[in-house]
Structure 1
Amino acid sequence: MNGYVVSVFSSVLLLTGIAVETNAQNAAAEAQAHVAKARAVAYRPDHDISDTFDSMCNPLKPGATQISGAPVQGPRAPRSKEPYAWWAPPAKVFDNLYYVGTSNENNQSVWAVTTSDGIILIDSAYDYTVKELITNGLKKAGLDPAQIKYVVLHHAHGDRYFGAKYLQDTYRARLIMSEADWNVITKSTDPAELKPKKDIVATDGMKLTLGDTTLTLYITPGHTPGTLSTLVPLKDGNQRHLGYLLGGRGAEMSDYGVPYFPDMATAMRTWIASIKRFHDIAQKAGADTFLSIHPQHDKTFDKLTAVRFRKPGAPHPFVNKEFIENHVTVMTECMEAQLAWLKSGSN
């Protein structure tokens, strides 16, 4: 009898092991199917989303709290605060939009939206770049930095807001961020001297109107608890376009000493839902122009060069509805792959 029980128990263990292995294999195959969908739209010479694909479509390291990028090949130098490492010239992109962010290597976009009643900045980059890139950059572009009225801070990471206190103190610019991310700043381990005073709290669907221009802000959690994403009206001669700016890239469960979500799976599911929701809103609104918070994500500098050499009557290099669609596909399919890898035990 005892032998029979042992035999049955062993059979159950064997079958359980086979089932677990089968489920893991199925999940791994599911992950690869999602990766294939992302890969299919991630690259062509004039349509490059490869940086996002490489950063998002790799299994997470054990214990990872964020999707932090592609595996590093060899040693990586620390980010330098010296101007040679981050300086970039200002660039006019549309009649009412300028790029005043960092170089491709430093990888921090800042956009200036000009209106009939002043300037709205989209993010502020770092404390050590703000004077040269924003104050002096706007002047070089023929604009007056004293006309900065609002700064939309898309999430509570230093690359978005470390320059904001200077703008708040120097130009009395109003800062806008979600309540959740204002709270992140309060709790974070970031240097206290770089934290701005809490100002305007963004709400979902909030209309930010300055003069003849209205931006629409949406709360899209997942990168941080209260990441903002924004629709930006754009002018190109007599043509009107609508910019689509997703306020983050990788899902994160914690950062800078602050927990965002209970686990990575929750962070990714939240971010996927936010991306799809913002995409649907943007699509219905007619968004046709991708604006990136990091220039490497969409090869912004290649597009800036194309704008500089654009011939009269030629299509605008930034206007491309298909790019928005494919970027959403890469982002969501790569995170679905991450979730499948979690199920398979590959993460």
Structure 2
Amino acid sequence: MQITARELAHFLGGSLEGNPDITVSQPSKIEEGGEGTISFLGNPKYESYAYTTTASVLLVSKDFAPKSPVSATLIRVDDVYASIARLLQQFGQQAKPAPGISETAVISDEAMLGNQVSIGAAVIVEAGAQVGEGAIIMGQAYIGKGAKIGPNTLIYPGARILDRCEVGRNCIIHANAVIGSDGFGFAPREDRSYEKIVHVGNVVIEDEVEIGANTTIDRATMGSTIIREGVKLDNLIQVGHNVEIGAHTVIAAQSGIAGSTKIGQYCRIGGQVGFSGHVEIADGSQIQAQSGIAGNIKEPNQAWFGSPIIPYRDFIRSHSVFKKLPELYKTISRMERELATLKAPEADQ
């Protein structure tokens, strides 16, 4: 893909400073740059690289005021991160495979494929499965019996969409994600062994959802595990059976959500957050990384931190005290010794 700075500025709705005819073919990190690349300055702590980058074009905010000369052509935009997201999507579209079905794919005669689908090498599509128009299923992915894949959804290599699970339109399922694995359900026997509880439900993923690599979403015991519209899940997340995640919630890597938990919409959840089962999380909750949630969060649009969680500001204040505890302990010990010394003469009387 070759595109001029002028075309980029028009595409992003930005203003141009520098050579409008310079061309770029790929994005780059600001500290690496490279001729023929476009980079961006979104975080002020990287500003020093703006003066040394070898990128041909640099995306900056409209209020960026250079402290030194910048050799790159500048494109000024209202929101750098939103613009770079659009830009990366544009570059990424060029890598998508063309429609067609690989000769090594195994497609059941009872499966239904929409128009303009792309099915990669060694893909398996089982009986009763439905693949929507324009969907892309890359190599070695598996689509189970009766599963449904919505139009224009992209499934990366090795992902597994198991029996009767549903994925909406315009979704992205990254490599080796598993949708519809059995939930962690076992009934204790009298001899202290365990009997497996069969999970007969499914997983329903609504439109515009992105599921990260190696993330697993368990099917419901009965009914559905539900991922609502616009949810974004990072890599290596565990979603238990009968969980429901509300629309446009984002969850970072290595978080774990135990069964039957209900997470509201527009929540922002950091990495390695743990949810116990059967809890409800209010809309708009912001939960910091490595927090632990053992009870309901009822008040919406609040920030939380810690394990077990407490309000974010309370945690920060408490942590500032916690760091001082060794010195406080020494001070108290010294005061106790001094007090004991003062009391000693009284004891002799």
**TM-score, scaled to structure 2:** 0.20
Larger RCO (CA within 8 A; separation ≥ 6):
1
TM (normalized to structure 1)? 0.20
